[in-house]
Amino acid sequence: MTVATNAPERETTLPPEPGLTPDEIVARAEAMAPSLVARQAETEERTFYAPDTHEAFSEAGFYRILVPRRYGGYEFGVDTFLRVSMALARGCPSTGWMYCLGAAHALFVATLFEERAQAEIFAGGDFISPAVIAPSGTAERTADGWLVNGTWSYCSGVPYATHFIGHTLVPSADGEPKPLLFIAPRGEWRRLDDWGAQLGLRGSGSHSVVIENGRIPAHYAFEALHMSEVDVSTGSVGRTLHGNPQYGGGPLSFMLLEAATLAVGMAKGALDTYEDLMRTKRTMFTDVLRADDPDFQLWYGQASGMIATAEAAISDAVRQWSETCARGPAAFTREQDVRIATICREVIALSWRAVESYLFPTAGSSSARRGERLERIWRDMSTLHSHAGIAVLLATVATRERAKARFA
């Protein structure tokens, strides 16, 4: 069903539940989280969450949270999307990761691509697209776009994806290679069955994508552009097209808000498990409940305080991101973009220290057995730290860029 807007040439497709609210959709995610805990083992075995979980996410509206309303999305704020992602990661880190890194890029597409491309890309309503920032493959110019070939690894969210966002390098006029950013519809690529052997996040659906003579229309690609370096300080297509400031925010900082949110969700899941142990396990030497033991009280208190601080920091970083968007394009400078990114760095570090330094080593060896929830979260968070966008982009590039932008 479509309804006309004020502009006669535009039509808005209503979402499945026009009256759905942000709080309601977050509550749905929180209600689903316990069932995700129970299915973690099968998710790792399959290497992605189950088809019925995917259907439940679709019916709940999770894949439309960031899709513009005119294309049948809910166009909720980024805070709503990240709250849903945190709730899912609290239940199952792999599921939260796969969902978040697949559905998040609706914001990027709605920010950057022209109206014609958006109408085609969002035509299905639900939108899932992994994005890989490392260039790979090749692209040859054609009369109406590009002919793309190659393989892209670590495509988190790909099993149920509708699209794929990638980068490759093409020659420039001066002979130096330049990036080509493109989005490929599902029919132009295939997924490899090559995920699941990693230490953690084995169920995150981070398989490789292969494109063989994929035809990418010209309006689905940008020359000399990388998604981590998009400058929105002079405005964006999405801000103008949708009249919503969130489609004019910095992609780099939003990318890292995702990772930090997932880290907090994972740490909260670890704290949930530790609290269960506090209530049910007895100490070895004094034979009292851990909840009554001063040492366990100290360890729990220390970790819970760190995780609460990380959650408060990510909440405020999201607020800063949204308020910067609302102040207008000129407010979202490179300095502000990397400033928010460095907050995310500290959130991830604090979440990891709470688990690695306090919860995991004091939970007991029985909690470190393969398949135990805390063991799995420790593996998942360890793997999160090996992610190139976190290990390289946050720890080095964004940190230096913050100072360079300040003192330029």
Query: What band does 62 get if pLDDT is binned at 50, 70 and 90?
Result: very high
> What's the rounded mean pLDDT across residues 380-401?
76
Q: Which amino acid is at 305?
A: G
Q: Kindly report the number of other CB atoms within 10 A of residue 6's CB atom.
A: 5
CA 381 to chain centre: 15
**For strand 190-191 and strand 177-185, is the pairing parallel, antiparallel, or unpaired?**
unpaired
3-class state of residue 382 by DSSP? helix
Q: What is the DSSP string of 236-292?
A: -HHHHHH--GGGGS-HHHHHHHHHHHHHHHHHHHHHHHHHHHHHH-B-TTT-SBGGG
pTM: 0.95
> What's the rounded mean pLDDT across residues 149-174?
96
pLDDT of residue 386: 80
Of residues 398 and 311, more confidence is placed in 311
pLDDT of residue 353: 97
Query: What band does 172 get if pLDDT is binned at 50, 70 and 90?
Result: confident
State the burial class of residue 314 (Cβ atoms within 10 Å of its Cβ: 0-12, 13-18, 19+): buried
Query: What band does 10 get if pLDDT is binned at 50, 70 and 90?
Result: low
pLDDT of residue 41: 96
Q: Tens digits of per-residue pLDDT, 111-135?
A: 999 999 999 999 999 999 999 999 9
Which segment of 2-6, 19-23, 374-378 scores lowest on mean pLDDT? 2-6
